[in-house]
Amino acid sequence: MIPRGPEAIRHLLTRIAQDLIPKAGDAYTATDLGYFTVLLGMIAQDYDRAAEVLVAEHAALEPILREAALHIDDADLEARIAHVLAEKTPSLRVSDLTARSDASLKLLIDLHAAVEDAEAGGADWARTVNDEIWRFLEAHVAAHAYDVAL
């Protein structure tokens, strides 16, 4: 049987909240246990969505990189964009996907700075790409957002 991760994690946090916190010997321990339930709730959300979010984000970033590569006047950035676009799809392990995401986001930081400079210099293409990058960032933070009642 395939373990159902999020449900199992939620069972654990319910057990802590209902059975263990009331038995905590002091306020400090009770507070720490409360924090554990919050963390477990967040881990349950990530367990279910992490792979999909990381794959979808990379797919969303690729057209932005392609568009920028058409205009950007920086050999190093061009080479890094070409490298990211040519990379083979990694396994679906979250650690592999995260490593690819980290490399892409690092490139995005440098590319975004270059695009802003180009936009300040009056390049129309840069305004469009800058807007696309911000839409990507908006979707990025929304996709990673936690639903927590705190």
Partner 1 sequence: MGVREDQLQGGLSDFLAAKWRPGAQVCDLARIPGGASRETWRLKVHAGEASRGMVVRIDPETSLIDTDRRTEYRAMEAAFKAGLPAPETLFLEEDLRWLGRPFSITAEVTGCQAAPGGIPPEHRDAIGRQKWRLLGKIAALDPLTLGLADVMAATTPATCAMEQLDYWAKVIAADELHPNPVAHAAIRWLRRNPPPPARKLSLVHGDYRTGNFLYSPDGQIKAILDWEMAHIGDPLEDLAWSLDPLWCWNEPERAGGLLPHTEAVRAWEEAAGLEVDPEAFRWWQVFAALKGIGIWISSSEDFHSGASKAPILAIAGWLMTDRQQRILVDYLAPHSRHRFVRVVK
Q: Distance from CA of residue 39 to its chain's centroid?
A: 17
Site for partner 1 in 102-141 (CB under 8 A): 102, 105-106, 108-109, 112-113, 116, 130-131, 134-135, 137-138, 140-141
- Do 57 and 102 touch, CB atoms closer than 8 A? no
Residue 47 touches partner 1, criterion: CB under 8 A? no
Tally Cβ neighbours within 10 Å of residue 49: 14
Stretch that binds partner 1, among 11-19, 50-58, 87-95, 142-150 (CB under 8 A): 142-150
Output phi, psi for 36, to 5 deg: -60, -40
Q: Which of 75, 15, 77, 10 shows the shortest CA–CA distance to 41?
A: 10
The rounded distance, in Å, linking the Cα atoms of 139 and 135 is: 6
Stretch that binds partner 1, among 5-13, 75-83, 88-96, 99-107 (CB under 8 A): 99-107
Read off the tokens for 133. Answer: 């990058």
**Of the residues 38, 50, 55, 69, which one makes contact with partner 1 according to CB under 8 A:** 38
Using CB under 8 A as the binding criterion, the count of chain residues that bind partner 1 stands at 36
Cα-based torsion angle of the residue sequence 135, 70, 114, 100 in order, rounded to the nearest 10 degrees:
60
Site for partner 1 in 61-80 (CB under 8 A): none
Residues that bind partner 1 (CB under 8 A): 26-28, 30-32, 35-36, 38-39, 42, 98, 101-102, 105-106, 108-109, 112-113, 116, 130-131, 134-135, 137-138, 140-142, 144-146, 148-150
